[in-house]
DNA sequence: CAGCATCCCGTTTGATACTG
DNA sequence: CAGTATCAAACGGGATGCTG
């Protein structure tokens, strides 16, 4: 069983600065719930997707890339999953697909303004994950050690 | 086929402010790749999880909640999925579980500092999604109309 | 080159019933 | 009350082969 550990700080009451952020978060959630609850996870779902963030990031850095270029930059991706990912991102308006209608085929992908917005909005979260990577690993170890 | 539409602004070159953010993103990605590439998606994967964000948010607002309380606040969740979600969040050190060892059973959950950090770091992304929800729906409609 | 079709596997999610 | 057990369905992800 997992108990509250002395090393894990669990404050009985919130800090004031955090409370303000919670208020904003509450408002944000309510606004989303009214509009479309599914949309939230659908958009944020790209974060949990294995390749989506890699594609968005690669396009952000390179500007415009072809299918094969992306496949080379994303280590281990199959054509099938790359195509699927690109379709999903395109469907959500995050990337733009440009088919030159040539033979041999030439298709390029680039970020839309929406895609750039997502990338920039992800930045704080991104850096937070990096800063707290050690904390995550420590939590994992503690959990695994405890459940043994 | 989906072509680049006139209504979808696709800049051939990047804007300067965006470029700087990309630089930072590049650095962030490199830092993560060196450390542990899997960790990134694993942590961010909570965003794509159906109930994780709801749990984190509910605990952020309420402070401390019991299993049944959470079940009531998350509309449509089954006990099974709630338990699974709580275990995953606990394993990653985002929430703390406190078992009072009483009869009848009493178990409470609350955010750890790490969980609070995630919630606050998600805020910019959160509000961005809300601001751009109409744009997403428009993109969806355009895509669906085009692929018909 | 871009990407679709097919088959396959493991995970996620859920409904229902049961337990300490 | 706070779970666990079980079964079934949906989805994500990958390997391979084929097409315009």
Q: What is the pLDDT of residue A109?
A: 97
Q: What is the pLDDT of residue B116?
A: 93
Angle at B30 between CA B24 and CA B36, to 5 degrees: 130
What's the pLDDT tens digit per position in A111-136?
Answer: 999 999 999 988 888 888 888 888 98
Question: Nearest-CA residue to the C1' of D2?
Answer: B105
Q: What is the pLDDT of residue A12?
A: 47
Q: Do A36 and B140 touch (CB under 8 A)?
A: no
Q: Do A128 and B135 touch (CB under 8 A)?
A: no
Q: Are A54 and B107 in contact (CB under 8 A)?
A: no
Alpha-carbon span A132 to B18, nearest angstrom: 25
Please check whether strand D approaches the CB of A41 to within 7 Å.
no
Q: What is the pLDDT of residue B89?
A: 94
Q: What is the pLDDT of residue A133?
A: 85
What is chain A's Cα-based Rg? Answer: 20
Q: Compute the 3-state secondary structure of chain B and give helix, strand, coil in percent, each to the nearest 5.
A: 65, 10, 25
Q: Do B117 and A124 touch (CB under 8 A)?
A: no
The dihedrals phi and psi of B138, each to the nearest 5 degrees, come to -65, -45
Regions of chain A with pLDDT less than 70: 1-16, 29, 31-38, 147-148
Regions of chain B with pLDDT less than 70: 1-16, 28-38, 148
Alpha-carbon span A89 to A53, nearest angstrom: 10
Q: What is the pLDDT of residue A90?
A: 94
Count CB atoms within 10 A of the CB of residue B23.
11
Alpha-carbon span B59 to B77, nearest angstrom: 16
Give the chain B residue nearest A1 (alpha carbons). B99
Nearest-by-Cβ selection for B93 from A14, A39, A136: A136
Nearest-by-Cβ selection for A126 from B2, B11, B28: B28
Q: Do A142 and B46 touch (CB under 8 A)?
A: no
A28 CA vs C11 C1’ separation (Å): 31
A38 DSSP 8-state letter: H
List of chain B residues whose C-beta atoms are within 8 Å of the C-beta of residue A13: 63
List of chain A residues whose C-beta atoms are within 8 Å of the C-beta of residue B39: 129, 133, 136-137
Q: What is the pLDDT of residue B32?
A: 61
Q: Which of residues 100-129 of A touch strand D (CB under 7 A)?
A: 104-105
Q: What is the pLDDT of residue B22?
A: 80
B72 CA vs D19 C1’ separation (Å): 53
Q: Are A75 and A91 in contact (CB under 8 A)?
A: no
Alpha-carbon span B105 to B107, nearest angstrom: 7
Q: Are B107 and B100 in contact (CB under 8 A)?
A: yes
């Amino acid at each position: 069983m997992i108990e509250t550990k002395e090393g894990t700080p669990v404050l009985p009451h919130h800090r004031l600065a955090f409370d303000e952020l919670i208020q904003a978060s509450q408002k944000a959630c309510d606004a989303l719930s009214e509009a479309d609850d599914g949309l939230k996870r659908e958009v944020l779902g790209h974060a949990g997707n294995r390749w989506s963030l890699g594609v968005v990031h690669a396009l952000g850095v390179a500007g415009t890339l072809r299918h094969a270029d992306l496949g080379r930059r994303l280590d281990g991706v199959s054509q099938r999953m790359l195509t699927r990912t690109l379709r999903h991102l395109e469907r959500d308006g995050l990337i733009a697909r440009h088919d030159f209608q040539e033979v041999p085929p030439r298709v390029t992908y680039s970020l839309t303004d929406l895609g750039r917005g997502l990338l920039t909005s992800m930045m704080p979260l991104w850096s937070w994950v990096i800063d707290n990577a050690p904390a995550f690993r420590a939590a994992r170890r503690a959990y695994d050690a405890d459940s043994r």
